[in-house]
Structure 1
Amino acid sequence: MYHKTVLSNGVRVVTEKIPGVRSVSTGIWVSVGSRDEDDGEQGVTHFIEHMLFKGTQRRSALDIAKALDAVGGFANAFTSKEHVCFHAKVLGTHLPMVVDVLTDIFLHSTFAPEEILREQQVILQEIRMIEDTPDEYIHILLQELFWNPNPLGRPIYGTAQAVASIDRERILRYQARTFNPARTVIAAAGDLEHQRFVELVSPSMATLPTRDSSNTRETPTNQAIREVIPKDLEQVHLCLGMQGASHLDESRFACHLLNVILGSSMSSRLFQEIREKRGLAYSVYSFMNSHEDTGLLGVYSGIAPDNVEETLQVIKEQLNMLAEQPIAETELNAAKEYVKGSMYLNAEITDSRMNRLAKNEFLFGRYIPYEEVEEKINQVTAREIRQWFRQVFHPDQLALVLLGPVEPDSLSAAL
């Protein structure tokens, strides 16, 4: 059962009681992410995410860890392009403790200078780790190129230079500007009662001062940039991108289904054609990155240098087929069952339910029943998918990045 309460300062509290579970997942969300950072602030949202577990006026970092470990709980945080979230999962009986810990770190973190210096080194290692993981790093490179120079394309973790320049004053200034009640949602799902939860969070979160809540985000213009980045690797990592659906587009259901048909499942066209029939790659898939005002539909594959041209050719053939040929009803129905099955399986996890509550509140301002989503999925036709794809697919406007042992002049030959 869903409930919503708005605190006196504008903080929204949304909960969903799930019968039959003993755990509860809760999170404090702020609608601010890497795309909201000004020049010189790159990576500061992600940095704050790390720092909030490093000590408050009442608790040391060890105290925070011990409080959760003592009840078998789990706490973490994440930063995205548009949100930062501090969340935890415990048994319902321990909800008062976890609310006290989360609100304490959110409102009273000290940002000790010595901890900032230490965490700078941790995040610099994180950046190097990602850059040493080519199948992850290439997605970051594609987004940078595809949305350049818009902040949406920037890496969430910032740059090494920007991270090294972050200090306590910059953190406090940014936090004061962005962490305000109008952007804040507290979500919880599982074994809880709404009114009791509101009573737990209200005394502390209602003290969050009201500030200017303006949150202007400029929609990026897609860039059809194609780039080869030579690197001494065993494989060439290929990432291709085009316009995708945003979280708010009515076409998002058609885009999700097309993504499943194209490459996000083992029975998908790309998996079957590139891996199963030709043995060109071990890893090949399509993906969707959706945001509130835009999206990216892409294809990734890790391949041997000698297979780059053939793999690109197969990808282009499959994209052209989706634009030119109708999708069979059997294929569409299988994709619908795949999407609905994934949705309902995730609904059995309290973390997923909590995430869904917060995101729907930010995007739509309301709870969206699973049955409503299922109906939208069922209503999508093969004709609608094809029409949408023909609007966004332009072969001469695809963004493409190749990372690995490949020569720069090989890109023209591959295309």
Structure 2
Amino acid sequence: MSAPVPLPLESPDTTIAASGGALVRRTVLPTGLRVLSEHVPGASSVTVGFWVPVGSRDEQPVTYGSTHFLEHLLFKGTQRRTAFDIAVAFDAVGGEHNALTAKEHTCYYAKVRDRDLPMAVEVLTDMVTSSLLDVDEFESERGVILEELAMADDDPGDVAGELVARLVYGDHALGRPIGGTKETIKAVSRDDVAAHYREHYRARDLVVTVAGAVDHDELVALVQRALADCGWSDEAATPRARRVTDAATISGGGIEVIDRPLEQVNLMIGMPGLLASDRRRTHMSVMNTVLGAGMSSRLFQEVRERRGLAYSVYSYSSLYSDAGSFGMYAGCTPAKAGEVARIMLGELDRLAADGVTDEELLRAKGQIAGASALALEDSDSRMSRLGRSELTMGEFADLDTVLALVDRVTPDDVRAIAAELAGGRRSVAAVGPVRADAFAGLA
């Protein structure tokens, strides 16, 4: 491949010869359901994912947290299987199964030996299409989710992460916590969650991705048979349209502190970033690597190695369909929180003004190349790449294509991204025993 391959919704079949001898195939069924597979030579296991393009940002005010709530409930039984039956099906073959809810999608996934793929497809299909949403299980799981939220609230890093997202995104739906709040989870009804289920879990919404020792034609037949067994509608439909990628208006920014009696301050600084569809996302990846990814990054070297002000310090980037964010994190002693915040912003400003050295650029590209190649040793990563390609990007890029794009990033590209970020409206979130005036003038 010399460039990403488009995945148009109206194209029923696509075949891509990918790097390393892998074969990627995609079939769009008449119902609008999409099936993607990546056959990996020499693999003896498979990872399968059932993706639904609905996340926390898609909820109505009365159902905040319902996407994550529903994710829990789909493990609680169907007409044909109890919750215990679902657990036993995977435990009995040494498999793994789980789910995740994100801001723009939900994924139910499993990893099993290749011989157990029919079972995994059958069980996941049953869960996704035929959940009972039992009233008693609903109330029991409400308690479980409240405990999960309480656990997250006890983690100051999680609290700082949610706080900085709210500050950066302002009133945008991306600023809401994925799991909802204690108040919304206590208030949401089974009927609300059931309506959410009926609205978003249809054949035209669903994407099935499998990576590893998989035969595509057999996979498509498995999916079709499992859907027929579950009695899901076979009515012809077009696939659900991908999200609009026009940039949203973001009106965030500010400084907010949550005072807690901790030994450290969990400090996060955020600002608007790039959209997932922005072709400069590769430039962002290189810039982020130089600034705050790894032990040779500028943040790690300046904050930890030279000054000894933090144990953990890094930067990150989050990209969504119509908005994105960039941020930096450090955990430090309360008395040094203001100093650390200014150092981190100073490093970003210095990168924006002076750019990157040739040595840093070469090292960052090598780091990305190695990490990308190592990640694809795992069928989980390949399965997730297929899902993101279909739902978010609308195109597939193999390792060779990605690395070629990384290799073309120039010093000017890195400096330009840093300058754009440095010029954006800044947000400072801190959790710990510190006053907001420690960050005066930073946002």
**TM-score bracket for the superposition, by shorter chain length:** over 0.9
Counterpart contact for 1:177–1:211, Cα < 8 Å: no
1:10 aligns with 2:32: yes
The whole-number CA distance in structure 2 between the counterparts of 1:363 and 1:306 is: 42
1:412 aligns with 2:434: no
1:383 aligns with 2:415: no
Q: Which residue of 2 aligns with 1:63?
A: 85
The whole-number CA distance in structure 2 between the counterparts of 1:280 and 1:405 is: 16
Secondary structure at the counterpart of residue 282 of structure 1: coil
Q: Which residue of 2 aligns with 1:26?
A: 48
Letter in 1 for 2:435: E
Residue by residue over 1:230-270, the C-alpha shift from the partner in whole angstroms, topping out at 9 and shown as x without a partner, is 11211111100112222211110111111111111110001
Q: Which residue of 2 aligns with 1:146?
A: 168
Counterpart contact for 2:50–2:108, Cα < 8 Å: yes
Q: Which residue of 1 aligns with 2:321?
A: 292
Question: Which residues of 2 match residues 115-126 of structure 1 at below 5 A?
Answer: 115-126=137-148
Q: CA deviation at 1:202?
A: 1.1
Q: CA deviation at 1:42?
A: 0.5
Question: Which of 242, 259, 277 is matched with 2:288 structurally?
Answer: 259
Question: Which of 255, 260, 265 is matched with 1:231 structurally?
Answer: 260
Secondary structure at the counterpart of residue 8 of structure 1: coil
Counterpart contact for 1:14–1:188, Cα < 8 Å: yes
**TM-score, length-normalised on structure 1?**
0.96
1:90/1:220 CA distance change after superposition, 3 Å: farther
The whole-number CA distance in structure 1 between the counterparts of 2:213 and 2:251 is: 44
Counterpart contact for 1:181–1:211, Cα < 8 Å: no
Deviating more after overlay: 293-302 vs 163-172: 163-172
The whole-number CA distance in structure 1 between the counterparts of 2:401 and 2:177 is: 34
The whole-number CA distance in structure 2 between the counterparts of 1:220 and 1:316 is: 24
5+ long unaligned stretches in structure 1 = none
Residue by residue over 1:276-332, the C-alpha shift from the partner in whole angstroms, topping out at 9 and shown as x without a partner, is 111101111111111122211100011101111221221122111111103111100
The percentage of counterpart residues that share the same residue type is 38
The whole-number CA distance in structure 1 between the counterparts of 2:144 and 2:195 is: 22
Letter in 2 for 1:13: V
**TM-score, length-normalised on structure 2?**
0.90
Residue by residue over 1:344-387, the C-alpha shift from the partner in whole angstroms, topping out at 9 and shown as x without a partner, is 11111001000001110112333322111111100000111112
1:166 aligns with 2:188: yes
Tell me how many residue pairs correspond in the alignment: 414
Question: Which of 202, 205, 217 is matched with 2:227 structurally?
Answer: 205
Question: Which residues of 2 match residues 74-85 of structure 1 at below 5 A?
Answer: 74-85=96-107
The whole-number CA distance in structure 1 between the counterparts of 2:362 and 2:203 is: 43
1:49/1:330 CA distance change after superposition, 3 Å: same
The whole-number CA distance in structure 2 between the counterparts of 1:386 and 1:193 is: 45
Deviating more after overlay: 92-101 vs 200-209: 200-209
Secondary structure at the counterpart of residue 335 of structure 1: helix
Letter in 2 for 1:409: D
Q: CA deviation at 1:18?
A: 0.6
Q: Which residue of 2 aligns with 1:177?
A: 199
Secondary structure at the counterpart of residue 247 of structure 1: coil
Q: CA deviation at 1:92?
A: 0.3
